[in-house]
Structures are given as structure tokens and as C-alpha cells.
Structure 1
């Protein structure tokens, strides 16, 4: 008969045997699970990861395995380490991608010129799913800290723990990835029955669940026959659809013509109605079939970078994720594009010096502008030569009309003016010389009279300032926005130093500077061509269709207008595609030309057309010469009277 001690001993042995058997079964099951997890990872990577692109493999911290559930033994921890080691080795053996290993902890922050194209993230065992999500977030934080971080890459997350809640686990992982803007994600979770479930999610499928994460089972990996997919479906479908189905997007902007004009609709809601960028934004929203909510930054407007590495204004909306995108004269810049996503440029502008137009030449000088100075000197020289020759040739002849220099002068002057002379020359030599002078003066008069009316109406302008050197050496005062000072910090250039030293501040008062430029004509301004072109078309024109200032032909520095999106925004590629098509189709240039022409027509209708007819003001030069001649004649008359009176007095004394 068996004793109670023997019964207890037998039960103990049976329990021990059952425990050992259970551990062996669990170990075999875990080993089989990890084997197929690796096979599935290799199959997904080789089929979908772009060859040649960088593959980043993230593994959890090595010291995290000792803080797990009590049932995890050293053997299980060793198996976890072997899983990560074998997974990395198998991916390296494919020789399709350069591989980078990432683990949570201190990093060197090495810069990379190339973005990661794909990610494989191993998760470790944790006591709860919350601990696992927390560890996964640390891994993602380290990956995001790398300069090669690319949220638009392909993400494969491998979960090795089987908890029987594969869908819920996948949803938590996908929700975490969505906060990092990683939409192209595939989560591999152990299924209850000898299989792996592959989950993803699809945003913008309906207005009710636009960006709400709802897991979708794409395919399953079965363990039988060495492992295979059930349906062989595409595991990384296009996540950003062409049709957003009315999903709402938060957008920040500010009013700035000619780019953005905000108006209120019938429901008192502010809308982006007119302007170059409003038309581009409206085209994007219509193409995406999306709705939007406008947000305005207030007095901070575009905003700037703060001391704590955050941003204010419209850029601050993007930095704090209050808005998904922003537009409104935003420029393509290195610092901004490091903090946000910049779209492809769709409009280009230049900083150009705008100087006053040269003043019109005084109208009394118009009669002298028909010929150049050399022509006038040649005419005077010919007349002097003819006068001297006439006097010498007639000095010994019987012709008294040309015997003195004064009479020769009067005759030549009569020929120049096209009137008759007091007496025709008698000798053959004098007649030949007189005829040559007559033909010469006739041709001069024909040319002069042909152009004299033109120069009386429009005598032309004085010297126009056409480059920076002439501007710096002139007496014209100049100014610009203080933000442009960075373009004049070249200490080796004397012209830049001179401009930086004497410039006037125009920040916040561009219109005042422009009014001074156009109305007073004593101020030059460095400004963007598009802003000045629009402002000039809307109020600073003169007949005929001519602005009141002159723009240098060469630009000072170029700038490109873009839209900003939150860092890693999945909308970037779709917006770039629409923007690029609109630009290549010429829509942007068409919109801009339409805006300028519309404003120009409105301004031109307000201008009074001035007829180009001769008036007293145009005849200034004629009256100047007339009164000058009268003055000389009167002076000569007075001198003659004085001389005649002097002669009479002398004769009386002699008598």
C-alpha cells in the first residue's frame, strides 16, 4: 500500500514533467513564431522596399529585457536577442540595401545627405502592451532625431509577443506611428492560430474618419509549407488618396495683396477669394476634394524663430500642429525648410532697386537738342569759314555789299535762317561759294525743322540711374526693409558698405517709401518686383502705361514663393504634384498677368489723356531765343545811339 509521501512525490514528479513539457512546447512555439516572423519580414522587405535605398533597423534597448514579465526566463531573453541578431543578418544577406542599426540611447547625431527609404522596427517583450508602446515610442524618437529621418518611407513593425488581441495591438501601434506622420506602416502581429496578421490603416476615406486610425487587415502569413501569404495583396498601398472625400484641413494664411485677399461670405465666414496664392490654394482644394478651415496669425503675421527653438505667428501654427499647411508670400529658405516641409516653388520674384525716373529736360533747351554739340560746332565753324572767305574774296572786287565782315555776317545769317540776302553776289567766285553755303544750310534746315516739333513736345529726360554704383554715388536717398541687410554684409565691397551705412529703414512702411519714390522723386527703394509691379499698376502709373519709377534690369537676389506644411506631412507629394502641373501649364503666369492687367485697366481709366499739341509751354525755347534776340537788338540799338551821339559831340567841338 502506497504511503502519502509516495503520492506526494508522484504528484510532484507529474507536475514537474507537465511544467517541463509545457515549457518545451512554449519554447518550440516561440521558436516557430520567431522563425516565421523573420521569414515574413524578409519576404515583405524584398518585395516592397526600394533597392538601393537606406534601410534603418531599430531594435529595443538591451537592458529592457530584464524588466519584463516574471514568466520570462533567461532563455526567452536570449531568444529575443537571437531574433534581432538573426533578423539583421538575414536582411543583410539580401544585399539590396545599405543598412543602419538604431537603438534607443545617446546618439552622435551624424549628418546624412540621403533620407532613409524604409524601416524595420523590432519590438521587445514588455509586461503590458502599454510598456511595449512606450518602448516603441522611444525607438521612434531616436529615429526621428536622425537627419536621415523620412516619415514618408515604408515602415515594417514586427511584434513578437502573442497576447490574443492582435487587432487592438496593431491599432495602438498605428496610432503611435500616425503621430510621427508615418502613414506607410505595416504592423505584423501574431494571430491566435499559427499565423501572422498584417495590419495597416487608410486615412481620408470618409469625412467621419479622415485621420482617425482604423486598422485594416491586409493579408496573413500562414506557417504551413514553410510559410506563405494568403492573398499576396499589395502591402503598401497609396495612403494619400486623390479624393479626400470632403475631409477638413486646417490652413493658416494672412491677407496680403496681390497674393491673398480675404473676404466674408454670406455666412460671415472668412474666405480666400482673390489673389495669386488664393487661386493656387483653391485649385489644390478642389483637386483634392477637401474642405478647409482658415486660421489667421494676428499681428505676428509670418512669425519668427524664438529663443526656445519654437516659432511664432503663422509658422508657429505649423510648429504646434494647429494647422496642416500655410501660405501667403512664404519664401523658400534653408532654416524654414529644416523646420517645416516646403512645397515646390510656384512663383519667383526678385529684389530689385527701384529709382526715380529721370526728370524731363527743360523745354527751353529743346531747340538745341535736335543736333549734338559736335554738329552745332561744325555748323558754326562752316559759317565762320564762309564769312571769312566771302570777305577775302570780295575785299578787292567792285561788290560793296560783301566788302566788310559785318555785311558778310548778315548775308550768311540770312542764308542760315532761310531768308533773302540784301544783295546777290556779282562775281563768279563769290557766287560759287555762296551757292555751296546755300545748299549746305538748306539741308541743315530741312533736318532741323523735321525734328524740331518732336523735341519741343518731348525734349527727353536727363541721365537715368541704371546700376548700384551710380545710385551709391548719387545724391538720391535710398532705403529698404532691415531684413535685407544680410545682402550687404560684404566688408570687402566698398559699395555694399556705403549702402549699408546710408540706407533708410522702410520696414513696415513700404507704401510710404514708395510714395516718396514716385511723388517726390528723391528716394530709391530695394523691393520685390512682384509687390512693386502690383502697387505701380494699381496707382502709380502715368500716360502712356508707364510707371513713375525705373527698375534696374538685373535683379539683386532671387526668391521663390512656396507653401509650408508640417514636418513630415503626407500631403506634400500630392500638393507638389498639383502645384507642378499648374505651373507647367502656365496657370500661375496667367493668373498673375490677369491680376496686373485688371489693376492697370482700373488705374488707366482714372487717368486723363493729355493730347500732344503744341502749346505755349512747348514753345519755351522759341520765346527764349526771341527775347534773347530782342535783347541783343535793343542793346545794339542803344550802343549805336551812344556812338552816334558821341560823334555829334566830337564834330561840334571841332567846328
Structure 2
């Protein structure tokens, strides 16, 4: 305990001695900066302090100021120095919520903005870079320009480099150096500037700065009518342009018109699930949507060009078949997902089973074998019972004296046909009665299933698991865009298939082939599969159209991508959430799907109701045609035999008369 007290007193002595080494101006600046940090920065969030590479900031004052900040706020404070990538900044795992940037001219002929650009480059190289945080830029040395012009130039630099709008700029109000090596009794004033985007007469670019207050001898005096770090994006965005780069890919982006103007320019108009969010956003915020010309080449090439436009800020929003991806998020800022779709393997739907196959499947093979054995044994029993030595001739059955007649006798009982002669002895009657009961039970079961299978034989077994899919050796369909997407997410399940793929141009062509032929398998989002079915005029309520494995392979989340650091991202996320809660986009999706189905159902294969016969089946004489064919053949044969007997009888009489 005594040792701890000694260390505490020693540390307090060192800190107090270092404070005494600070000038009056440095103490005032520390108090001013600490007041702004405590009043406007979010508590308990990481704070990053960025220093210039030169020693323009007094090291003693810097250490004491950081110690005071850490002691007063108890926040995690990180320090970065130099215009190159700093080790501490590069290893941060959480995004800093606030930034303090000390900047000043480098060297004798240096420029403040050049130093700031180097510092921003170093900060942007980190994965923890947060351009939407709260920034305080403190100029540590004199500049030849007036303070408001310097503040405007710094604001332009912050906007052009990282689209930073939530910033406060502190600049000295005199020609003297802000930080001096010796004491000075002059009063130090710091002007505090900021700027507000999307104001009347201007859009996002900073055209002027606002003096929100001054810091005089450590006392911060800010305007109460202006909130320094409030939400700076107004509700009304003054019809400012919202540049959108899009590529037609139904149903996400649907090209509705491309009108050519008198000056040779082309005006594009889009709808679609993704584009609908942009249009609703522009309607709520009073922005003017400007669709840029679509990219050339394949869909994958066009998407790359769209992202390049967003990264280079020639476009604000990229709309298309974009999903939430860690790789893409490193270059552009995604919105919150507005569509979550499950991706499944689509397999051939089970075909109706063959009627004869189902009829033969009423009994198992062992049951059929037992019935045959019973048939043979009962025939032998009848024959042996009718030819026993203890049976009188008068009591014996003449029709059961031969094995062939016994077989015929047993067959009649099995077919529920009357026999030619009833048994006369008690033993034959007992066996006959037992066999009749046996045949009655078996025929009742068989006829019940026979009629059922004759009317509706059912379907073959459906493929439900990945193991069954591998064993089926089905050909799978794969397009270039899906293959590239699977490569990005490291999904290579289809490489384990034994069959060869069908390489078609797009996922749409794969789905069309699947719906028409039904003999392939493919991986597709459920929403897109239903839309393609509507394009083909197929009824989406038909379960025979969509047959998938039982489990989902993965989920995709549709998003929009904005330029890195774009100030409208939070507003986009807020409105997208409201659109989802109100059901506006779901309503649009239902209307789009239904309209597409109505337009294409006239040319569908179902127009003539080709599939109606699969819905139900009427039991008619057609199903008994085999029995009637056999009956007709028997009648013809009997009539032929009867004619033969008559001719033979007539011929015999003629011979007798002649003789």
C-alpha cells in the first residue's frame, strides 16, 4: 500500500511539472478542445487523434492534453502520427466514432490542405475508417489565407477526399502562431467553423462555411441556434440531383423507356424492385433522379463499371442485381438489406407413376410369390382329395379328376367366377370354403388399391436431399454470372457432381430450360424463379413448377451501393426500413409479378389447358378397355367355334345321308 502511494505521488508530481511547462495558450487550447469533446462527442466510443508528421505540435502539451482527455472521459483514445499508414490505426478492429485531426503546414513552404490530404490518405487506408464520424480539425499553425477561406478550403478537402460533412474546424483568429515555445500574455481566440449541405440554393458541395462560435481563453462560446454535430441532412433536399447508375435486369431493374432528346442525349427511365426504393426515396426527400447511361458488355462487366462509377463518385447510387457482400463493401457502402431471398437447388418435379407399375406394386414381391405358391398347393390338394382311394365313385367330382381341371377350378375361384361343379365330399368343401375366404380377402384389398391407382397412380419419389441429388446424376445448369458469384462466396458444391453442366447464357435461360424440359437441376433464388415463371405465363400457384431440396443453401440480401462515405446513407437506411414496414415495395412486387403473368399467359403452353388433365381424372369405360377387348376377343372366338361346330355337324349329316 505504501509503495502504491509513493508511485501515485510521483506520477502526480511528474504530471503537474509537465503542466507547468505548458504555455498559457496551450492550456487554453487544451481546455477549449476538452470542452468540445466532452460536450459533443459520443461517450464511451473510441476516439482517434491524428497528428501531423512534423513536430509542429509541442510534444509536452500533446501528452498532457491526451492524458487529460483520457482521464476526464475515460474513453479509448488512439493516436496516429504521420502521413503513412500507422500501425495502430491499421490494427483497429472497431470503427472510431470521433476524430481529432491536428494539421498544419509541413516545412517552411508547406500548405495546410496538403498536410490534411496526406493525413486523410493514411486514415482511409485503414479498415476501421469511419467517414461518418464526428471530426474536429484543429489548425496548429498560421496560414496566409483568411480564417473563413481556410475553413472553406479544409471543408472542400474533407468533402472531396472522403465526403465528410460532420466536421468542425478550429482556426486561430490572429497572425501569431497558435502554439508557441515561450509564454505570451496575448488573448488567444479560436474561430469555430462548420458547413451544412443541401441548403437553399446549393446541394452537397461546400460553397460557404458558417462561424458557429469562438473559443476565448478556453471558454467555448457557440451559437445556440446552430447544433454543431446535429443531423445535417434536411428533410427537403431542394430537388438536388441523385445520380443513379443502373443496368436492366428484371425484376431488380426494369428499363421502361429511353427517349432521345433534341441535343442527342438519351433519357433513361427504370422501375424494378431495387429501383423502386430509389424512386420512393427521391419522392420523399424531394430529389431529382438522373439515370446514367447503362454500362456496356455482359451483366458482370456492367456491374463492375457501375461500382467503378460509384467509387469514383461519378454516380451516387448503383442499382442492379447487387447483394450484400464483404468484398464489395470494401469499395462502396451498402444500404441495409431490403430483400432477403433464399437460394435453393431446383430439381425435376416427380412425374406421374406408370399405372401398371403401381398396380403391380399393390403387393410386395414376397406376397405375390406366396399367392402363387398357394395357388399351386391348393390345386394339388383339390386333385388329391378328389382322387383318394376312400372316396366312392358316386361322391367323386368328375371335374377334379385331372390336375388341369383343378388348376382351372382354382383359377375360377381366384377370378370370382362360378365353378362348373360344386365339391361333393366334406373334405373338398372344407378346402373350397377356406380358399374362397382367402380369395375374398385378397381380392378386396387388390380391387380397392386397383381402382385407386387406376384413377390416380400418384407420383414417383421426389429428390429431397443433396445425397439423393448426387445419386441422381442429373445435369446441372450454370451461367457465368452465377459461377462468379459462387466463386466470391466460396460455394463450390456443384463441383462434386458426376454429371457435366449445361452452360447457358444467363440464369433466366437456365430457368426457362428447367420449366420447359424439367430434366435438369440448378441453383436459383426463389424470388427470381417465380418471376421467370411469370414471364413464361406459368401459374405460380402450381406446386409442380417449383420442386426444390428441403434445405436452403444460403441466403442473399439485396442492397443498393452508395459512394464511400456518402452522407445520404443513413437517410436511405431509415426510409428503406419505413418502406418495408409500410409494405410499399411488396405491393409493387405483387403488381409487377401479376402484370407480367397476365401479359404472357396468352402465349403460354397452358393456354389450351394442356396441363388440365393432370389436375383430375374421370373414371370411365376407357380405363376398362382392356377388359372389353378381352371380352370382345372371347366373343369372336366363341362365335367362330360355334360356327365351326355347326359346319362340322352339317357336314357330318351330309356324309351320313350319302352313305
Shorter-chain-normalised TM-score: which range? Answer: 0.7 to 0.9
Secondary structure class of the residue paired with 1:316 = helix
Q: Are residues 165 and 464 of structure 1, via their aligned partners in 2, closer, same or farther at CA, if it must alter by over 3 Å?
A: same
Equivalent residue for 1:116, pick from 86, 96, 104: 96
Q: Distance in 1 between matches of 2:576 and 2:591?
A: 19
Secondary structure class of the residue paired with 1:550 = coil
Alignment correspondent of 1:572: 569
Q: Distance in 1 between matches of 2:555 and 2:213?
A: 51
Q: Distance in 1 between matches of 2:401 and 2:109?
A: 127
Matches within 5 A, 1:120-519: 120-124=100-104, 131-160=111-140, 161=142, 165-179=146-160, 180-191=162-173, 195-206=189-200, 208-223=202-217, 227-231=219-223, 234-264=227-257, 269-273=267-271, 275-300=272-297, 303=300, 312-365=304-357, 367-396=359-388, 397=391, 398-482=396-480, 484=483, 498-499=496-497, 502-504=499-501, 506=503, 508-519=505-516
Confirm or deny: 8 A CA contact 1:364 1:620 kept in the other structure. no
| Unmatched segments (≥5 aa) in structure 1 | 1-29, 66-78, 306-310, 638-655
The CA deviation at 1:330 is 0.6
The CA deviation at 1:375 is 4.4
The CA deviation at 1:219 is 2.9
Confirm or deny: 8 A CA contact 2:383 2:402 kept in the other structure. yes
Q: Are residues 539 and 386 of structure 1, via their aligned partners in 2, closer, same or farther at CA, if it must alter by over 3 Å?
A: farther
Q: Distance in 1 between matches of 2:440 and 2:307?
A: 75
How many residue pairs get matched?
Answer: 580
Confirm or deny: 8 A CA contact 1:353 1:527 kept in the other structure. yes
Q: Distance in 1 between matches of 2:350 and 2:332?
A: 45
Of the structure 1 ranges 121-130 and 317-326, higher mean CA displacement relative to structure 2 is found in 121-130
Q: Deviations over 1:561-582 (max 9, x none)?
A: 2211111222222222233344
Secondary structure class of the residue paired with 1:322 = coil
Confirm or deny: 8 A CA contact 2:80 2:86 kept in the other structure. no
Q: Are residues 255 and 570 of structure 1, via their aligned partners in 2, closer, same or farther at CA, if it must alter by over 3 Å?
A: same
Q: Distance in 2 between matches of 1:537 and 1:413?
A: 57
The CA deviation at 1:333 is 1.7
Secondary structure class of the residue paired with 2:289 = strand
Confirm or deny: 8 A CA contact 2:104 2:111 kept in the other structure. no
Equivalent residue for 1:562, pick from 559, 564, 567: 559
Secondary structure class of the residue paired with 1:116 = coil
Secondary structure class of the residue paired with 1:147 = coil
Confirm or deny: 8 A CA contact 1:162 1:189 kept in the other structure. no
TM-score (norm 1): 0.76
Q: Are residues 40 and 139 of structure 1, via their aligned partners in 2, closer, same or farther at CA, if it must alter by over 3 Å?
A: same
The CA deviation at 1:43 is 0.3
Q: Distance in 2 between matches of 1:509 and 1:539?
A: 16
Of the structure 1 ranges 368-377 and 618-627, higher mean CA displacement relative to structure 2 is found in 618-627
Q: Distance in 1 between matches of 2:107 and 2:92?
A: 36
Q: Does 1:613 align with 2:618?
A: yes
Secondary structure class of the residue paired with 1:390 = helix
Q: Distance in 1 between matches of 2:110 and 2:488?
A: 55
The CA deviation at 1:163 is 6.5
Confirm or deny: 8 A CA contact 2:44 2:74 kept in the other structure. yes
Q: Deviations over 1:629-654 (max 9, x none)?
A: 97xx99xx9xxxxxxxxxxxxxxxxx
Q: Are residues 552 and 401 of structure 1, via their aligned partners in 2, closer, same or farther at CA, if it must alter by over 3 Å?
A: same
Matches within 5 A, 1:525-536: 525-536=522-533
The CA deviation at 1:44 is 0.6
Question: C-alpha root-mean-square deviation of aligned residues, in Å?
Answer: 4.0
Q: Distance in 2 between matches of 1:229 and 1:385?
A: 114
Q: Distance in 2 between matches of 1:280 and 1:497?
A: 37
Q: Does 1:60 align with 2:58?
A: no
The CA deviation at 1:50 is 1.9
The CA deviation at 1:184 is 0.9
Secondary structure class of the residue paired with 1:209 = coil
Q: Distance in 2 between matches of 1:468 and 1:489?
A: 22
Q: Are residues 199 and 622 of structure 1, via their aligned partners in 2, closer, same or farther at CA, if it must alter by over 3 Å?
A: farther
Confirm or deny: 8 A CA contact 2:112 2:143 kept in the other structure. no
Q: Are residues 207 and 120 of structure 1, via their aligned partners in 2, closer, same or farther at CA, if it must alter by over 3 Å?
A: same
Alignment correspondent of 2:542: 545
The CA deviation at 1:194 is 6.0
Secondary structure class of the residue paired with 1:229 = strand
Matches within 5 A, 1:2-17: none
Q: Are residues 261 and 88 of structure 1, via their aligned partners in 2, closer, same or farther at CA, if it must alter by over 3 Å?
A: same
Equivalent residue for 1:102, pick from 80, 96, 104: 80
Q: Are residues 258 and 497 of structure 1, via their aligned partners in 2, closer, same or farther at CA, if it must alter by over 3 Å?
A: closer
The CA deviation at 1:93 is 3.3
Confirm or deny: 8 A CA contact 2:323 2:559 kept in the other structure. yes
Q: Distance in 1 between matches of 2:502 and 2:621?
A: 43
TM-score (norm 2): 0.76
Secondary structure class of the residue paired with 1:174 = helix
Secondary structure class of the residue paired with 1:106 = coil
Alignment correspondent of 1:640: none
Secondary structure class of the residue paired with 2:97 = strand
The CA deviation at 1:89 is 3.9
Alignment correspondent of 2:38: 46
Q: Distance in 2 between matches of 1:185 and 1:317?
A: 26
The CA deviation at 1:155 is 0.4
